[in-house]
Structure 1
């Protein structure tokens, strides 16, 4: 028994405390104490337990789930304590051997351990996942839009908004006026003239200016004060520029759908226009039993030629729009439309690639919808070019372009001055 203790201490000092040799001798000493050792059990241990001491490790850094995973007969008794292992460092021919004994019984307080993850195909078990990485969608790096690129559809927000402008009302006409943020003079001129919401008795009219962000410091505070005073500014969070007019127009459509769905008509009118509101109201006919549908009218452009000269304001690169002519469209300086159209145009914009010419893009959306502008009873009602002022001439025209703010104020005052009646154009509504 003393010999047994001595051998056990020598093995503990010279070996890994959890090695098969130390544990085997400890087991033997315990069994000798009970007088149950036998030569046959020793023969079994000497030929099996010590031949492959490290079979549980499939790679140098593999963690062993159970230290004695190589024992196939953990309850066998050894009778000879000094048995030498024949191949203590034998190299495994199959490094990923599957254990056949998942439940190892130990003569320690933790009697049962289940060997987890016993089967290993390769030391790097994440290889299948790594193989799938090239198929993952990589985020596209942000790049600024090109000079002819229109960022739409896009989720824009209104910094200045008038969501209650049509609440509780059924406006007959909503005037949407695109304007530059810094052009306060033009806005005041429109408010004092054709943008007056009380201009036509018995007809509900609403007026709104739509604008983007300015690249001028200090202007935003002025816009906040102006909005508080007049409650008619809609400002989106996009840079206000000529190339972003399509964004401005589509935000106008979005706002109308969201906040004025009960209106009968809307009209988009630039600030440099003279607008004969009373004639426009007669053209739309507030006494009709119901509003028109799929209706949009103005100065219709047919066979519009695409400009390829780079010096032109309306230059269009072939890679943006390859066709030599544009589809049928309405000049963007002034047009009126029924309120069933904005939602349809927005749906078309999801599939029709935008271009920066907003009136042409509107025509492209109409073409996609299979719709065409409604011809006017007189093609000259919406005038495309500046026209010298004449009270009687302007009486028979819906819109004229090319107005400076001071001209608009001057002509408007004379237009409403009492005077002899003007001849009526038989092609215009009575």
Structure 2
């Protein structure tokens, strides 16, 4: 038996080069990887071993006057009578940027067309687009004129006089709950959603109607984040300095992309906003702090997406509630997801088995996907 030493040396050389490349990447990324792992270990340890955030409530509590000042901005566009005289099942806030005219138009012509929803579903859903003023001072005047013209046609914009930026998202949260408290307190449910979200309103309405029949209270459902640590990397838009939030873990919260609360929870959150420091700019985390203060816990709903886009398939459409990351395809998805044929796909025993198998293939993948969890395949 003969050994080709030239081939052996060649393989060893390739292995050496490969190992050097791997070590180089690790050396460059180790600090970030180490920080990421350590921060999550600390956060999960606190979340699952201690599981108490009372100290946050005490540390961030402020006077009523100071708390109220965070959201004290005059309305530029407002509609006080949006909910008057209506038995509103769902008040749906869409967090929109002033310049996103196309997104708002797409929503109005699909899942946000509340006139059509009223006719098809027999319930009242009110859709309101909330925003601040354009952040760019050079185009502010032009954009504002377009917004006023848009609202003249549709009458569904609510705007306050603060700069519409990522770091002012918590101001939008305050705006939503305070506007709802003042203008639409009788709505049975409140939803907050981004303007790149697809909401399967018929499925959501049917689900909410069941909750009403059951008399369920303390509803706060969405895609739940548990034991999430603050991001300390300055290059991230989610960066939170220690001076702003000094602890290693956030209270549980739902993704700000889309979540639903019942009327009683909306009222509790409103009152919590009147006693907490709202300087933290990550709105969904602040929502978690408010809920923790009033003793409300988020409930995971497997068909609320996180930051990911749901797979396109009739077996998914049958129960989907939200899907994230939609701008150009909302019209297509609305037609496909609400087609009458969707319910026929899973009818009967064979249909149910077929859809379970399909959802397992789409959702139970070995790599991380922040849409629906694997267990959604079996629900």
In structure 2, the partner of 1:398 is 321
Judged with a 3 Å threshold, the aligned counterparts in structure 2 of structure 1 residues 418 and 366 are, in CA distance, closer, same or farther, namely closer
In structure 1, the partner of 2:310 is 387
Give the CA RMSD over aligned residues.
Answer: 2.4
What SS does structure 2 have at the residue aligned with 1:193? coil
In structure 2, the partner of 1:234 is 158
- Displacement, 1:346? 2.5
Residue pair 2:265, 2:296 contacting (<8 A) in 1 also: no
Judged with a 3 Å threshold, the aligned counterparts in structure 2 of structure 1 residues 300 and 229 are, in CA distance, closer, same or farther, namely same
Judged with a 3 Å threshold, the aligned counterparts in structure 2 of structure 1 residues 380 and 224 are, in CA distance, closer, same or farther, namely closer
Tell me, in whole angstroms, the C-alpha distance in 1 between the residues paired with 2:210 and 2:240: 40
Judged with a 3 Å threshold, the aligned counterparts in structure 2 of structure 1 residues 287 and 244 are, in CA distance, closer, same or farther, namely closer
In structure 2, the partner of 1:351 is 275
Q: Quick check: which has more Rg, 1 or 2?
A: 1
Residue pair 1:383, 1:397 contacting (<8 A) in 2 also: no
What SS does structure 1 have at the residue aligned with 2:170? helix
Residue pair 1:264, 1:291 contacting (<8 A) in 2 also: no
Structure 1 unaligned residues grouped into runs of 5+: 1-149
- Displacement, 1:380? 4.1
Length-normalised TM-score, structure 1: 0.61
In structure 1, the partner of 2:70 is 153
Residue pair 2:128, 2:156 contacting (<8 A) in 1 also: yes
Q: Does 1:319 align with 2:236?
A: no
In structure 2, the partner of 1:261 is 185
Judged with a 3 Å threshold, the aligned counterparts in structure 2 of structure 1 residues 230 and 266 are, in CA distance, closer, same or farther, namely same
Q: Which has the higher helix share?
A: 2
Tell me, in whole angstroms, the C-alpha distance in 2 between the residues paired with 1:382 and 1:283: 16
- Displacement, 1:417? 3.6
Tell me, in whole angstroms, the C-alpha distance in 1 between the residues paired with 2:210 and 2:186: 14
- Displacement, 1:189? 0.5
What SS does structure 2 have at the residue aligned with 1:177? strand
Judged with a 3 Å threshold, the aligned counterparts in structure 2 of structure 1 residues 152 and 398 are, in CA distance, closer, same or farther, namely farther
What SS does structure 2 have at the residue aligned with 1:172? strand
- Displacement, 1:291? 5.1
User: Which structure exhibits the higher relative contact order, with contacts defined as CA atoms closer than 8 Å and separated by 6 or more residues?
Assistant: 2
- Superposed, which structure 2 residues align to 1:231-380 within 5 Å? 231-285=155-209, 288-289=212-213, 292-354=216-278, 355-376=280-301, 379-380=302-303
In structure 2, the partner of 1:188 is 105
- Displacement, 1:273? 1.1
In structure 2, the partner of 1:42 is none
After superposition, the C-alpha distances for 1:44-103 in whole angstroms (9 at most, x for unaligned) are: xxxxxxxxxxxxxxxxxxxxxxxxxxxxxxxxxxxxxxxxxxxxxxxxxxxxxxxxxxxx
Residue pair 1:295, 1:337 contacting (<8 A) in 2 also: yes
Tell me, in whole angstroms, the C-alpha distance in 1 between the residues paired with 2:170 and 2:151: 23
Residue pair 2:255, 2:306 contacting (<8 A) in 1 also: no
Q: Does 1:165 align with 2:82?
A: yes
- Displacement, 1:289? 4.3
Q: Does 1:219 align with 2:143?
A: yes
